[in-house]
Structure 1
Amino acid sequence: MEDEEQNIEVQKSSSDENKYKDFKEITNNEQVKKVKEIIDDIDWENAKVDMVRPADYRFVFQFKNPEIEAKAVLYELWISPNKDKVELVIDAESKYIQLDKNKSSELFEILDGGK
């Protein structure tokens, strides 16, 4: 199961309040693996956070094999005001983390395709 290939579907916040548009699909295995490593490495805080605005991005891992039934976890991502860190929330599990600058930029580069 672990070796099953996955994609990451990324949605970006649109100017419309609480609306998201499909932004990109990450199919590159190396990139998907990197994001998985970052996520798996996180020491999540158990916290129900109330962010001041909707997430800048949201993303989910999807198995490429449609026969695999897996509950998709929705990750929501906020970019800090200084644009140097990201905060992640798994709302359904009341989990929160702010990543350090290095992990933030790694993750953001993959999800956004830019710096």
Structure 2
Amino acid sequence: MKKILLFFSLLGVLLVTSSCLNEMVGQKITVQKRNGEENIFEDFNEVNQKKQVKKAIDIVKNANWENEKVEMARYADYQFQFPFKNSSENKIASYSLWVSPNGKNLEIVMDSHKYVKLTKQDSANLYEILTGEELIK
């Protein structure tokens, strides 16, 4: 009887663990970098490490987004996308990213109707995740 109880307990733990892992399977961030002065982007990087993907999603999700339409003076420096689950749907979130002229902050526009200027710390962390380089020039 104890063996059966132990078996079903382990089976339950394995099922819960595997369902949690399945949520992150396939999670990745694709990054494109602007080529030259035109609005042409090339594939630049792909972030697949779970911790980095989660950290980047948390930074973007927890940012203080403003609901305002913005027009930037130049084309974005980078574009990045990642899949996210919204209830039962799988969607892809797309963002345009600018490095501020002082090189210390990132500005992000989503769907032309949401804008955020990240803090210096969040900017540095997100930039390093997306590009593999340090933000400060």
Answer whether TM exceeds 0.5 for this pair: yes
TM category (shorter chain) comes to 0.7 to 0.9
Whether the 8 Å CA contact 2:105–2:124 is kept in 1: the answer is: yes
CA distance in 2, matches of 1:49, 1:97: 10
CA distance in 2, matches of 1:110, 1:21: 18
* Map of 2:6 onto structure 1: none
Q: Percent identity?
A: 45
Alignment match of 1:52 (pick from 73, 77, 87): 73
Q: Which runs of 5+ in 1 are unaligned?
A: none
The SS at the match of 1:37 is helix
Q: Which runs of 4+ in 1 moved over 3 A?
A: none
Q: Number of matched residues? A: 110
Matching of residue 101 in structure 1 with residue 123 in structure 2 = no
Whether the 8 Å CA contact 1:9–1:62 is kept in 2: the answer is: no
Whether the 8 Å CA contact 1:14–1:21 is kept in 2: the answer is: yes
Higher CA-based Rg: 2
Q: How far 1:91 sits from its partner (Å)?
A: 2.1
Between Structure 1 and Structure 2, the one with more helix by share is 2
Over aligned residues, Cα RMSD in angstroms? 2.0
Q: Which runs of 5+ in 2 are unaligned?
A: 1-18
Matching of residue 62 in structure 1 with residue 62 in structure 2 = no
Relative contact order (C-alpha < 8 Å, sep 6+): which is higher? Answer: 1
Alignment match of 1:12 (pick from 10, 29, 33): 33
